[in-house]
């Protein structure tokens, strides 16, 4: 049985295989960029006016001139104005190129009309005010988005600004989910007195979809070594990541570890000093697949998924958060404890975690409303307002 920190070290050496495809910009939201993107030209590409107002020459202002004739206007989208005559200014609109020779824009609100122009009366004037100089945001060739960044609305806007109609993105890994157990029936079946309906596969596939994975095939296999071998063998041939729920504890009916190893999988960990989820099995398949065999109790499935599976799938994005505890929470003497919790604002810019109390790792009802798990280190009693790590799913 390894401590949680040792499992983290082992998982840090595992990587999901990366394949690349071209994604149309309109369908790239949520994807992971597979290649850095550079500015195709200076940003801004010209000296840009940032406020509606009047553009003028700094040397005329410093010479004491305050009243200016207006020699034309320059709207956004027009070619650069050739510049004002001496003693004149140019009316400019936000987004327009700064007229030639001008290096200052006085806001429209600070201008008073005169018979033949405007009187400019701002409280403070500095050279370059209300202007964004060419290349002041980024020079052509500067990396704007790094490889591995996830594309949100802001990143999509940046890609559009550099003319990226299609971008290389990482293909989502092929993931397969399987639940094991003779006691399980599907949701459309009426269970007998000794049976229960399957739920772990629905939790895992929906949690993966919520993280942008898309549809994930799932199946059920009975507690039969031959059927497990046949079924898991097929799934290993399809998957980059295989998630198995159930059949990993220490009883003589827990066949999954032995079957996986018989199929050529290499066990990296079997047993973690944590609760829930102590029997967790982690290994690699014969072609480098990553295999997580999770304990069958639903709270253990959720905890292991949030703490380890998502960490591997979402690397290098940091998923862990911190939250202050609403009430004291005790750890276990020699094991890490994971506590289901939901979060709320503390009213002061922080986050408070409220423990969702349940009746052991089989009580999935107390996961309702919870957004993840608090991690309580071994041998610790964390007092109210203490900070703890929080792993969302």
For residues 285 and 297, state if they share a domain. Answer: yes
Give the per-residue pLDDT at 235: 98
Q: What number of CA atoms fall less than 13 Å from residue 219's CA on the CB side?
A: 14
Look up the CATH number of the domain holding residue 344: 2.40.340.10
Whether 245 maps to a domain, the answer reads: yes
The distance between the two most distant Cα atoms of the chain, rounded to a whole number of Å, is 98
Rounded CA separation 331/275 (Å): 10
Look up the CATH number of the domain holding residue 153: 3.90.105.10
For residues 100 and 33, state if they share a domain. Answer: no
Q: Quick check: 121 pLDDT over 90?
A: no
Facing residues of 56 across strands?
104
For residues 154 and 185, state if they share a domain. Answer: no
For residues 195 and 277, state if they share a domain. Answer: yes
For residues 145 and 210, state if they share a domain. Answer: no
Nearest to 42 by CA among 149, 153, 133, 175: 133
Domain boundary among 313, 340, 367: 313
For residues 382 and 343, state if they share a domain. Answer: yes
Structural domain containing residue 33 = 29-43+138-170
Q: Quick check: 86 pLDDT over 80?
A: yes
Look up the CATH number of the domain holding residue 228: 3.40.980.10
Element (H, E) at 69: strand 67-74
- Residue 366, both tokens: 């107390």
Cβ atoms 209, 216 nearer than 8 A: yes
Sign of CA dihedral 210, 213, 214, 218: negative
For residues 242 and 226, state if they share a domain. Answer: yes
Whether 22 maps to a domain, the answer reads: no
Rounded CA separation 183/271 (Å): 23
Rounded CA separation 141/86 (Å): 38
- Residue 183, both tokens: 């006691």
Dump pLDDT digits (tens) for 39-65. Answer: 999 999 999 999 999 999 999 999 999
Dump pLDDT digits (tens) for 188-247. Answer: 899 999 998 999 999 999 999 998 888 999 999 999 999 999 999 999 999 999 999 999
Nearest to 339 by CA among 314, 309, 302, 311: 302
For residues 165 and 241, state if they share a domain. Answer: no
Sign of CA dihedral 53, 55, 61, 67: negative
- Residue 108, both tokens: 């429209």
Dump pLDDT digits (tens) for 343-381. Answer: 998 888 789 998 888 877 778 888 888 999 999 999 999
Whether 24 maps to a domain, the answer reads: no
Look up the CATH number of the domain holding residue 102: 2.170.190.11
Place of tokens 């609305």: 153
Residue 55 CB neighbours (<10 A): 28
Cβ atoms 233, 263 nearer than 8 A: yes
Distances from the Cα of 348 to the Cαs of 269, 351, 352, in angstroms? 42, 9, 10
For residues 222 and 307, state if they share a domain. Answer: yes
Q: Quick check: 124 pLDDT over 80?
A: yes
Rounded CA separation 75/49 (Å): 10
- Alpha carbon 359 to its chain centroid, in Å, reads 32
Nearest to 339 by CA among 376, 382, 365, 287: 376
Between strands 111-114 and 175-180, the pairing is unpaired
Rounded CA separation 334/274 (Å): 8
Banded model confidence at residue 250, pLDDT cuts 50, 70, 90: confident
Domain boundary among 286, 313, 340: 313
């Amino acid at each position: 049985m390894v401590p949680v920190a040792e499992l983290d070290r082992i998982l840090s050496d595992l990587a999901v295989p990366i394949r690349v495809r071209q994604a149309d910009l309109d369908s790239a939201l949520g994807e992971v960029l597979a290649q850095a993107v550079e500015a195709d030209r200076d940003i801004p590409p010209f000296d840009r006016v940032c406020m509606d107002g009047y553009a003028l020459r700094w040397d005329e202002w410093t010479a004491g001139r305050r009243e200016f004739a207006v020699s034309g206007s320059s709207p956004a989208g027009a070619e650069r104005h050739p510049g004002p005559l001496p003693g004149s200014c140019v009316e400019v609109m936000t987004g327009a190129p700064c007229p030639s020779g001008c290096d200052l824009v006085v806001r429209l609100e600070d201008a008073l009309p005169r018979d033949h122009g405007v009187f400019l009366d701002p409280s403070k004037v500095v050279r370059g005010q209300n202007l964004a100089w060419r290349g002041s945001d980024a020079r052509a060739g500067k990396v704007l988005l790094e490889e591995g960044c996830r594309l949100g609305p802001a990143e999509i806007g940046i890609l559009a600004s550099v003319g990226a109609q299609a971008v290389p993105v990482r293909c989502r890994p092929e993931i397969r989910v399987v639940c094991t157990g003779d006691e399980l029936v599907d949701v459309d079946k009426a269970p007998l007195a000794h049976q229960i309906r399957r739920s772990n596969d629905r939790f895992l596939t929906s949690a993966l979809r919520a993280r942008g994975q898309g549809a994930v095939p799932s199946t059920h296999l009975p507690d039969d070594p031959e059927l497990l071998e046949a079924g898991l063998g097929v799934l290993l041939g399809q998957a980059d990541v295989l998630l198995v729920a159930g059949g990993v504890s220490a009883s003589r009916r827990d066949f999954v570890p032995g079957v996986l190893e018989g199929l050529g999988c290499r066990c990296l960990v079997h047993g973690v000093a944590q609760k829930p989820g102590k029997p967790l099995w982690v290994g690699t398949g014969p072609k480098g697949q990553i295999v997580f065999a999770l304990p069958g109790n639903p709270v253990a499935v959720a905890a292991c998924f949030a703490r380890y599976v998502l960490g591997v799938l979402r690397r290098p994005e940091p998923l862990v958060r911190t939250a202050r505890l609403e009430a004291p929470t005790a750890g276990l003497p020699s094991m890490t404890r994971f506590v289901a919790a939901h979060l709320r604002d503390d009213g002061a810019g922080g986050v408070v975690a409220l423990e969702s109390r349940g009746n052991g790792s089989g009580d999935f009802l107390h996961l309702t409303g919870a957004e993840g798990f608090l991690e309580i280190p071994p041998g610790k009693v964390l007092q109210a307002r203490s900070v703890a790590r929080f792993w969302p799913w």
